Structure 1
Amino acid sequence: MNIIYPLVSVLIVSLISIIVALPFLIKKKLSHGTLLFLLSISVGVLLSTVFLDFLPEIFMHVEEHDHGHNIIGAPLIILLGFLLMFVIEKFVHYHHDKKCENGNCGHGHAYNLAPINLIGDGIHNFLDGLVIAGAYAVNITLGITATISIIFHEVPQEIADMGVLLYSGMSRKRALYFNFLSAITAIVGALVGILLIGRLDGFTEFIIPFAAGNFIYIAATNLLPQLHRHCKLKDSLIHLFAILLGIAIIIVVTVYSPHIH
Structure 2
Amino acid sequence: MKFHQAPQSLLFMLLCFLGTASRARASSLGPPAITAASFLEDLMHHYGEADTLTLQQLKALLNRLDVGVGRDNITQPELEQRNLSRCFSSADLFAAHNFSDQSRIGRSEFQEFCPTILQQLDSRACTLENQENEEDEQTEEGKPSAVEVWGYGLLCVTVISLCSLVGASVVPFMKKTFYKRLLLYFIALAIGTLYSNALFQLIPEAFGFNPLEDYYVSKSAVVFGGFYLFFFTEKILKMLLKQKDEHHHGHSHYVSETLPSKKDQEEGVTEKLQNGDLDHMIPQHLNRDLEGKAPGMDEKVIVGSLSVQDLQASQSACYWIKGVHYSDIGTLAWMITLSDGLHNFIDGLAIGASFTVSVFQGISTSVAILCEEFPHELGDFVILLNAGMSIQQALFFNFLSACCCYLGLAFGILAGSHFSANWIFALAGGMFLYIALADMFPEMNEVCREDERSGSILIPFVIQNLGLLTGFTIMLVLTMYSGQIQIG
TM value normalised by structure 2:
0.42
Give unpaired runs (5+ residues) of structure 2.
Answer: 1-143, 211-298, 311-328, 450-456
Q: In the TM superposition, what is the alpha-carbon distance from 1:187 to its structure 2 partner?
A: 0.6
Report the AA paired with residue 15 of structure 1: L
Q: Corresponding residue for 2:199?
A: 51
Q: Corresponding residue for 1:7?
A: 154
RMSD of equivalent CA atoms: 2.4
Q: Kindly indicate whether structure 1 or structure 2 has the higher relative contact order, using CA contacts under 8 Å at least 6 residues apart.
A: 1
The structure carrying a bigger helix percent of its residues is 1
Q: Which residue of the other structure, out of 315, 330, 350, is the alignment partner of 1:111?
A: 330
For 1:178 and 1:224, the matched residues in 2 are separated by 26
Alignment of structure 1 residues 79-118 onto 2, 5 Å: 103-104=301-302, 105-109=306-310, 111-118=330-337
The verdict on how the C-alpha distance between 1:138 and 1:209 changes in structure 2, with shifts beyond 3 A counting, is same
The verdict on how the C-alpha distance between 1:198 and 1:51 changes in structure 2, with shifts beyond 3 A counting, is closer
- Say whether 1:213 aligns with 2:430: yes
Q: Which residue of the other structure, out of 171, 174, 189, is the alignment partner of 2:408?
A: 189
For 1:243 and 1:209, the matched residues in 2 are separated by 23
Q: Corresponding residue for 1:60?
A: 208
Q: In the TM superposition, what is the alpha-carbon distance from 1:111 to its structure 2 partner?
A: 2.4
Alignment of structure 1 residues 99-178 onto 2, 5 Å: 103-104=301-302, 105-109=306-310, 111-178=330-397
The verdict on how the C-alpha distance between 1:259 and 1:167 changes in structure 2, with shifts beyond 3 A counting, is same
Q: In the TM superposition, what is the alpha-carbon distance from 1:141 to its structure 2 partner?
A: 2.4
Q: Which residue of the other structure, out of 146, 150, 173, is the alignment partner of 1:28?
A: 173
Report the AA paired with residue 234 of structure 1: I
Q: In the TM superposition, what is the alpha-carbon distance from 1:133 to its structure 2 partner?
A: 0.4
For 1:140 and 1:173, the matched residues in 2 are separated by 36
For 1:225 and 1:245, the matched residues in 2 are separated by 19
Give unpaired runs (5+ residues) of structure 1.
Answer: 63-100
Q: Corresponding residue for 2:475?
A: 250
| 3-state SS in 2 of match to 1:60 | coil
User: What does the per-residue CA deviation read over 1:157-179, in whole Å, with 9 as the maximum and x for residues that have no partner?
Assistant: 11111111111221112211111
8 Å CA contact retained: 2:353, 2:415 = no
For 1:228 and 1:19, the matched residues in 2 are separated by 23
Structure with higher Rg: it is 2
| 3-state SS in 1 of match to 2:309 | coil
For 2:477 and 2:167, the matched residues in 1 are separated by 25
8 Å CA contact retained: 1:141, 1:254 = no
Q: In the TM superposition, what is the alpha-carbon distance from 1:260 to its structure 2 partner?
A: 7.4
Q: Corresponding residue for 1:37?
A: 185
User: What does the per-residue CA deviation read over 1:187-209, in whole Å, with 9 as the maximum and x for residues that have no partner?
Assistant: 1110122222334x22x111111
For 1:211 and 1:178, the matched residues in 2 are separated by 24
For 1:126 and 1:154, the matched residues in 2 are separated by 13
User: What does the per-residue CA deviation read over 1:7-66, in whole Å, with 9 as the maximum and x for residues that have no partner?
Assistant: 111111111111343223xx333711111111111111111111122233233359xxxx
Report the AA paired with residue 18 of structure 1: L
Aligned identity (percent) is: 32
Q: Which residue of the other structure, out of 439, 446, 454, is the alignment partner of 1:222?
A: 439
| 3-state SS in 1 of match to 2:444 | helix
8 Å CA contact retained: 1:107, 1:169 = no
Q: In the TM superposition, what is the alpha-carbon distance from 1:107 to its structure 2 partner?
A: 4.7
For 1:126 and 1:107, the matched residues in 2 are separated by 33
8 Å CA contact retained: 1:18, 1:180 = yes
Q: Corresponding residue for 1:65?
A: none
8 Å CA contact retained: 2:205, 2:422 = no
For 1:152 and 1:239, the matched residues in 2 are separated by 14
Report the AA paired with residue 470 of structure 2: L
The verdict on how the C-alpha distance between 1:14 and 1:54 changes in structure 2, with shifts beyond 3 A counting, is same
Report the AA paired with residue 36 of structure 1: L
Which deviates further from its counterpart, 156-165 or 226-235? 226-235
- Matched residue count: 219
| 3-state SS in 2 of match to 1:143 | helix
Q: In the TM superposition, what is the alpha-carbon distance from 1:256 to its structure 2 partner?
A: 4.2
